[in-house]
């Protein structure tokens, strides 16, 4: 491979790489605003200037191709002075409103100003004023005074979202970003422009002024909006989710996520209709009861029926661990009526990230033995209507679940439901167990590509601590450090579904023994060829492709 000298060290590079890419691969961060690894090069901010031997002028590292034998200094006196000049130029008209800016604490301009600026402006003239609080679209607010014209949002809209909705208007120091006449910045990925904006020019209409970054904890997790399983960060304050942001994973979602996943997959976690504790139907409504009473009630009713009179409905929204224990419980009771609903919406996917399957773990449910083929779910509900099946046990479904097949539950004699929220699913239930949401438990999902990925608790339930729901001490040291930043807030009395089933097993005479989600996965990995010998450490933060898996045959 060709080599060059970078800050006194000889390094290798690939043909065609730019200097900023070579530096990045070698752990050197060259300051930049307009450059982004997934966008085309614009070269208009001039912040990434570096000194190259035998070239009299500084060059921009984002567009300068590396060549054999180059000698590059990223922090020479001349390069640093140039950055200071660029920053001074940018700050001439930039408002000094960091204390009220949503980007404070995450702002590249703020960081570079601290590193390179002299801390005092030579300009005493009145700053140019531009439009503020401009609604570019339903989810994105624009502050033209803060904009540094890096063009990231424009290039993202054109190149990644494939919707050229933004452009520059005006000239010189009056330039600003705007939508094309009659258009709105409303593509399904518009909010990614907020993430890549290096300053506070673009902010979220949903998250705006809700919290400062240093007041929140951040937990790595997975989006549950579709079967892609985009890698995300869950940001929490006072035990409530404030926002979701995409987390880089080049094998799944790169740097992006869709607006639907960002906005509509977390608000049910702290909604007013959360199932807080176990409930038994009493007359027309539900009565909150203790766990022991709910478990006894469920066991007594299940024992009334023959195995062929019971159906177990798994879930493409529950974790691999939940579905594994659910299937194991059904088989222990001799139940053979086992299936799950699919959430496929034909024509709703695209060629970027969004898939037609709106559930995060359909493949995971299939792989642990809960099938959805040959009209099995329809057959089960026909049998419910015909009184052949009299008891139905339903695992977690979508919190806004609406399926005509649920009408059949009115014909069942006994219905038990694990639910995160009260809704249509629980209307005909006799007992409702409070299921922890994806943001409140440990576990795994398998996306449509066959990649198993971790979810981790970002929000605390009433019982959740390091000894009760998920992690041994060694795992805690690796994965649970963000728990220490939780503030006091409402904690729901909810549990992981595998744990509820483990508790129930003692009442039906089929004792299951699991203390942590990791215990469940360990047993699965010892028995299932697809998960063979995998553990949570191997899954890591980026996930791992399952073995011996033909995705096309399984989905």
**What CATH number corresponds to the domain at position 136?**
3.30.70.20
Q: How far apart are the C-alpha atoms of 305 and 430, rounded to whole Å?
A: 15
Backbone phi, then psi, for 506, in 5-degree steps? -65, -25
pLDDT interval class at 425 (50, 70, 90): confident
For position 521, what pLDDT does the model report? Answer: 97
Over the chain, what is the mean pLDDT?
91
Q: Which tokens go with 10?
A: 């000889």
What CATH number does the domain containing 320 carry? 3.40.50.740
Q: How far apart are the C-alpha atoms of 524 and 514, rounded to whole Å?
A: 12
Which of 270, 291, 315 finishes a domain? 270
- 81 and 25 assigned to the same domain: yes
DSSP structural state of residue 126: P
For position 138, what pLDDT does the model report? Answer: 97
For position 121, what pLDDT does the model report? Answer: 80
pLDDT interval class at 194 (50, 70, 90): very high
Which range is least confidently modeled, 122-126, 201-205, 410-414, 516-520?
122-126
- 164 and 71 assigned to the same domain: no
In a domain, 99, yes or no: no
Q: How far apart are the C-alpha atoms of 59 and 69, rounded to whole Å?
A: 16
Q: Is 364 left (phi over 0), alpha (psi -120 to 50) or beta?
A: alpha
In a domain, 110, yes or no: no
- 358 and 440 assigned to the same domain: yes
Residue where the block lists tokens 């159906």 = 311
For position 374, what pLDDT does the model report? Answer: 73
pLDDT digit string (tens) for 271-286? 999 999 999 998 878 9
Q: If we measure between CA atoms, which residue out of 522, 509, 501, 375 comes closest to residue 433? A: 501
Mapped onto helix, strand or coil, the DSSP state of residue 9 is: strand
Given a cut of 50, is residue 487 above it in pLDDT? Answer: no
> Residue 2 CB: number of other CB atoms within 10 A?
13
Q: How far apart are the C-alpha atoms of 349 and 496, rounded to whole Å?
A: 30
DSSP structural state of residue 189: T
In a domain, 103, yes or no: no
- 26 and 129 assigned to the same domain: no
pLDDT interval class at 405 (50, 70, 90): low
| Average confidence (pLDDT) over 331-335 | 95
Half-sphere exposure of 116 (CA within 13 A, CB side): 27
- 285 and 416 assigned to the same domain: yes
- 256 and 157 assigned to the same domain: yes
Total count of residues recorded for the chain: 555
Which of 270, 292, 327 finishes a domain? 270
In a domain, 106, yes or no: no
In a domain, 100, yes or no: no
Mapped onto helix, strand or coil, the DSSP state of residue 204 is: strand
| Average confidence (pLDDT) over 129-158 | 97
Mapped onto helix, strand or coil, the DSSP state of residue 170 is: coil
- 221 and 325 assigned to the same domain: no
| Average confidence (pLDDT) over 7-33 | 96
CB 524 within 8 A of CB 320: yes
Q: How far apart are the C-alpha atoms of 340 and 380, rounded to whole Å?
A: 10
In a domain, 114, yes or no: no
- 185 and 286 assigned to the same domain: no
Given a cut of 90, is residue 457 above it in pLDDT? Answer: yes
Residue 422: domain span: 279-554
Residue where the block lists tokens 């985009």 = 230
Beta bridge partners of 287: 280
Which of 222, 239, 270 finishes a domain? 270
What CATH number does the domain containing 54 carry? 3.10.20.740
Given a cut of 80, is residue 550 above it in pLDDT? Answer: no
Given a cut of 90, is residue 464 above it in pLDDT? Answer: no
In a domain, 406, yes or no: yes
Given a cut of 60, is residue 480 above it in pLDDT? Answer: no
- 47 and 160 assigned to the same domain: no
pLDDT digit string (tens) for 85-132? 999 999 999 998 999 999 999 999 999 998 887 777 888 888 999 999
Name, in order, each residue with C-beta under 8 angstroms of 466's C-beta and a sequence gap of 6 or more: 473, 476, 480, 483
pLDDT digit string (tens) for 310-321? 999 999 999 999
- 508 and 408 assigned to the same domain: yes
- 352 and 478 assigned to the same domain: yes
Q: Strand 3-6 to strand 71-73: parallel, antiparallel, or no bridges (unpaired)?
A: parallel
Number of folded domains that form the chain: 3
CB 272 within 8 A of CB 240: no
Cα torsion for 290, 294, 296, 297, to the nearest 10°?
A: 140
Q: How far apart are the C-alpha atoms of 243 and 234, rounded to whole Å?
A: 6
- 388 and 499 assigned to the same domain: yes
Given a cut of 80, is residue 483 above it in pLDDT? Answer: no
- What predicted TM-score, i.e. pTM, was given to this entire model? 0.91
Q: Express as a percent the part of the chain with pLDDT over 90.
A: 81
Q: How far apart are the C-alpha atoms of 6 and 22, rounded to whole Å?
A: 9
In a domain, 216, yes or no: yes
Q: How far apart are the C-alpha atoms of 234 and 65, rounded to whole Å?
A: 37
Q: How far apart are the C-alpha atoms of 531 and 546, rounded to whole Å?
A: 6
For position 372, what pLDDT does the model report? Answer: 84
472/263: higher pLDDT: 263
For position 509, what pLDDT does the model report? Answer: 85
pLDDT digit string (tens) for 159-188? 999 999 999 999 988 999 999 999 999 999
Given a cut of 50, is residue 466 above it in pLDDT? Answer: no
Q: How far apart are the C-alpha atoms of 15 and 67, rounded to whole Å?
A: 8
């Amino acid at each position: 491979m060709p080599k060059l000298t970078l800050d006194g060290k000889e390094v290798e590079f690939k043909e065609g790489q730019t200097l900023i890419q070579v530096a990045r691969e070698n752990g050197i961060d060259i300051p930049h605003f307009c450059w982004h690894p997934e966008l085309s090069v614009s070269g208009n901010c001039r912040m990434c200037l570096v000194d190259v031997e035998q070239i009299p002028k500084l060059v921009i590292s984002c567009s300068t191709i590396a060549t054999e034998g180059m000698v590059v200094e990223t922090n020479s006196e001349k390069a640093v002075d140039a950055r200071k000049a660029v920053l001074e130029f940018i700050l001439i008209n930039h408002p000094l409103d960091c204390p009220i800016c949503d980007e404070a604490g995450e702002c590249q301009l703020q960081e570079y100003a601290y590193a390179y600026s002299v801390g005092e402006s030579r300009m005493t003239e009145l700053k140019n004023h531009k439009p503020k609080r401009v609604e570019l679209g339903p989810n994105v607010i624009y502050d033209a005074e803060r904009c540094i014209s890096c063009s990231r949002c424009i290039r993202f809209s054109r190149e990644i979202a494939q919707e050229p909705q933004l452009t520059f208007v005006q000239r010189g120091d009056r330039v600003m970003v705007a939508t094309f006449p009659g258009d709105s910045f409303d593509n399904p990925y518009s909010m990614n422009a907020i993430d890549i904006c290096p300053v506070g020019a673009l902010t979220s209409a949903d998250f705006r002024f809700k919290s400062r970054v240093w007041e929140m904890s951040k937990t790595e997790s997975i989006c549950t909006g579709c079967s892609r399983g985009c890698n995300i960060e869950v940001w929490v304050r006072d035990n409530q989710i404030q926002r979701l942001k995409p987390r880089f994973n080049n094998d799944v979602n790169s740097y992006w996520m869709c607006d639907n996943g960002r906005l509509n997959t977390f608000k049910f976690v702290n909604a007013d209709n959360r199932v807080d504790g176990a409930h038994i139907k009493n007359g027309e409504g539900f009565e909150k009861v203790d766990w022991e009473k709910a478990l006894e009630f469920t066991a007594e009713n299940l024992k009334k029926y023959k195995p062929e009179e019971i159906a177990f409905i798994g879930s493409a929204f529950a974790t691999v661990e939940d579905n594994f224990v659910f299937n194991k419980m059904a088989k222990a009771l001799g139940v053979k009526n086992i299936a799950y609903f699919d959430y496929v919406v034909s024509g709703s996917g695209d060629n970027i990230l969004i898939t037609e399957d709106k559930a995060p773990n359909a493949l995971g449910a299939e792989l642990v033995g809960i099938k959805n083929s040959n009209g099995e779910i329809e057959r089960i509900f026909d049998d419910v209507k015909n009184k052949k099946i009299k008891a139905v046990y339903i695992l977690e479904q979508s919190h806004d679940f609406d399926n005509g097949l649920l009408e059949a539950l009115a014909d069942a004699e006994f219905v038990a439901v694990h639910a995160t929220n009260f809704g249509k699913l629980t209307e005909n239930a006799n007992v409702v167990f409070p299921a922890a949401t994806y943001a409140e438990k440990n576990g795994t999902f398998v996306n449509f590509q066959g990649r198993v990925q971790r979810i981790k608790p970002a929000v605390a339930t009433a019982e959740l601590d390091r000894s009760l729901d998920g992690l041994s001490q060694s795992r805690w040291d690796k994965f649970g450090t963000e728990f220490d930043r939780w503030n006091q807030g409402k904690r729901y009395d909810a549990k992981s579904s595998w744990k509820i089933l483990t508790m129930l097993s003692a009442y039906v005479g089929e004792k299951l023994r699991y203390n942590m989600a990791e215990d469940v996965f360990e047993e699965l990995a010892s028995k299932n060829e697809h998960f063979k010998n995998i553990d949570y450490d191997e899954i890591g933060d980026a996930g791992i492709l399952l073995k011996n898996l033909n995705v096309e045959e399984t989905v």
